[in-house]
Amino acid sequence: MDATSRRKLLVWYRKNRRDLPWRRTRDPYAIWVSEIMLQQTRVAAVVSYYERFLRRFPDVGTLARARIDTVLTLWSGLGYYRRARHLHAAARILRRDGFPRTAADWRRLPGVGPYTAAAVASIAFGEPAAVVDGNVTRVLSRLHALDDGRPVGDLAQAWLSPRAPGDFNQAVMELGATVCTPRSPECARCPLRTACAGKETPERYPAPRARARPVRERRAVAFACRNGKVFLTRRNGTGLLAGMWDLPPTRARGEPLAVIRHGVLNRHMVISVYRDRAHGAGRWFTAWQLGRIPLAAAARKCLRGTGFGLGDIRE
């Protein structure tokens, strides 16, 4: 990309970017938290969690000193809870060692991959490290008419503005998220349309990737309720939901109280909720307490489906 195209993209971004809370700061802590939350999660879903999280943990010290249960509770409903555990573990390292200034050093932290490392280092510290995500790949593939599925990392790095790497990275991602979308891109609004080699058939680029077939799963869970309390069990082990509270499994049959659909990555779950007795190791919780424990997102949906504590289960 030539200097004129870079300038057009930056001008477009500064005029048209969405007003997101993490774009109002250069604080590496706040930017890092936002990037972890944005991993595999839509922007619209992140904003309220981000603002609430920073109110509770305004700096890396308060996060590092917090109990992991408290962190998981604030994260509850956002999903992919391993991110919260990595965030907490990394906060303890950052409190001790300080914030890295390069993408290479950020990658040494738990839960920080190439994309997140480049995003934080470029936005917070101005390092010329290019980010590559789905939006960037799509924009570059269309701009250069690449339909062979080749990686675009080197191209993104060569394309990066060395004077404003943070803004430029965000500009490319913003273009992909709002204009150069997967379907029905708005090419007439694109600041790079005159330089785009793929503008005649944009949806041809990039080459489609083979997708994993969705895994369909059916579960039955128990809704045991007495004296205004519901019975929950805690997930053990080291899986995605380790440490989260959930409705226990059941073999009950008959007419369910509710049927909930819930998706995680390529898993499509249909969860039937049955009235049943309490069984297994667990605890009883009031509706008020549900908003103050790390509650699995699927359990949250199930409880809402039964109507239990509808006004108290915090989103």
How far apart, in whole angstroms, are the C-alpha atoms of residue 10 and residue 228?
Answer: 56
Q: What type of residue is 46?
A: V
State whether residue 80 is helix, strand or coil.
Answer: coil
145-168 burial code (b ≥16 CB/10 A, e <16): bbeeeeebbebbeebbbeebbbbb
φ, ψ dihedrals at 269, nearest 5°: -105, 140
CB-CB neighbours of 108 under 10 Å: 12
Q: Which residues pair with 96 in a beta bridge?
A: none
| Amino acid in position 147 | D
Q: Which residue has the tokens 């073999």?
A: 251
Q: Is 51 known to be catalytic? A: no
167 to 94, 138, 152: CA distances (angstroms): 25, 18, 19
8 Å CB contact between 194 and 188: no
Q: Give the integer Cα–Cα distance in Å for 45 and 244.
A: 20
Q: How far lies 42's CA from each of 37, 130, 260, in Å?
A: 9, 21, 21
Q: Could you identify the residue written with the tokens 């190791």?
A: 281
Query: 182 with 138: CB under 8 angstroms?
Result: yes
H-type alpha helices, the chain: 3-16, 28-38, 43-56, 60-65, 68-75, 82-97, 103-106, 114-125, 134-143, 153-159, 165-178, 287-290, 297-306
Tokens of 34: 């936002």
Which residues are catalytically annotated? 35
